[in-house]
Structure 1
Amino acid sequence: MVRPTASTVPSAHAEPHLSGRSGWLRAAVMGANDGILSTASLIAGVAAGSGDKAVILLAGLAGMVAGALSMAAGEYVSVSSQADVEKADVARERRELETNPEGELAELQAIYEERGLRSDLAAEVAEELTQHDALTTHLRDEIGLTDLSPPRPVQAALVSAATFAAGAAVPLGVAAFVPVSGLIWWVAAGTLVALGLLGALGAQAGGAPRGRAALRVILWGALAMAATSAIGALVGEVL
């Protein structure tokens, strides 16, 4: 029997993992989905209460710009906060390793014992990994921090803003080229198609079932547009 050698066994780092895409993929999908749905809902609501196409397009354009800036600011603040928390955890672990190395070693051994290793083997593994890179080992095995998807606030902000604007351009573009009489139905149709494609694309990029993801966003998109259209119609009657 031929035993695998280091040269024949594929490296874990060479194998592609979809979870490494989670940072930018989440921001991109969320931005595009919000851009399509919120702008389409806004256009549908205004169109249901007003027959002025200029007003409808102005509302859609304002929603696209405001939404893109809001998404960028929200993502930047959110991811920056995450990065600050992780930096604080790193600093605390570094201090604990400097002031109480024996206690940290025992803590690491206990973690490996809880995962199923024998006491003597857990102690050996803890000592070996501590000698190799104590800080990285504690960050990974004690508090779950890895370098798989580090927080990138600027990237998240730019991706969210760009994808929101791109998504919002779909219902806004449809509204610009169709007559006012059937505008709501054209925008709704275009929006649902775009949402379905986006849901399937995001699922494929993340390795999830495409049909279920597409159906989920189409359902919620239809509900959102129906609700805003109904509210717009009621407000339009009052005014």
Structure 2
Amino acid sequence: MSIGENIARVRAEIAAVAKAAGRDPAEITLVGASKMNDAAACREAIAAGIDALGENRVQELVSKLEENAYDGAPLHFIGHLQRNKVRQVVGKAALIQSVGSDALLEEIERQAEKLEIVQDILLEVNVGGEEAKSGYDPSDIPAAAQKAKELAHVRLRGLMTVPPIEKKPGENLTNFEKVDRLYVDINQKLYDNTLDILSMGMSGDYPDAIRAGATMIRVGTAIFGHRAYPAANQEGTV
């Protein structure tokens, strides 16, 4: 199937799952996780109506920007971001989804101040407490959200999570529900319900994420096809 056909199929499933959950499918933003796909694939996804494209790697993002790969759709950064590469992403990405530490939050503030812009971000929740993954512990999210609120050049839009790899279908529903409760709590208590993004769910589990309240899903494999990962660097299916 073509990228356009895959996007249509994913949107049909989004609509079916959302309606079954009593939600409006229009509430769900579809981000195409375009890691390891070339500029032509990005353009094809944009032509097919993808809502946004998300990159995991700074070098790939920079390279594809030079090829105008993202023209016509917002660009999100969705992968692990090192502090020394923040300057290459701030002002380029419409949304940095993977802010998982105070040090990273502060560096984004510094770089955004230099550019005299306000950078939209999400706080990443390490909902499974996995040592190999970045992100805040759920218990630290309220303090991080308060810190973000006090920064002049950062605008918190919501939360993001990458849960543990599922061993069986439906296993992550509980994790998604936990992050949704956290999102609702900080939205009500700290942000007067102005937060608008709960980014969770990838190719293998986005229906459960939608059932749990996701407003944004990040889908790679189901849109662009399988990628050839190095054997020592296997991660969850985006």
Q: TM-score, normalised by structure 1?
A: 0.25
Greater relative contact order: 1 or 2 (C-alpha under 8 angstroms, separation 6 or more)? 1
Higher helix share: 1
Which protein is richer in strand relative to its size?
A: 2
TM-score, normalised relative to structure 2: 0.25
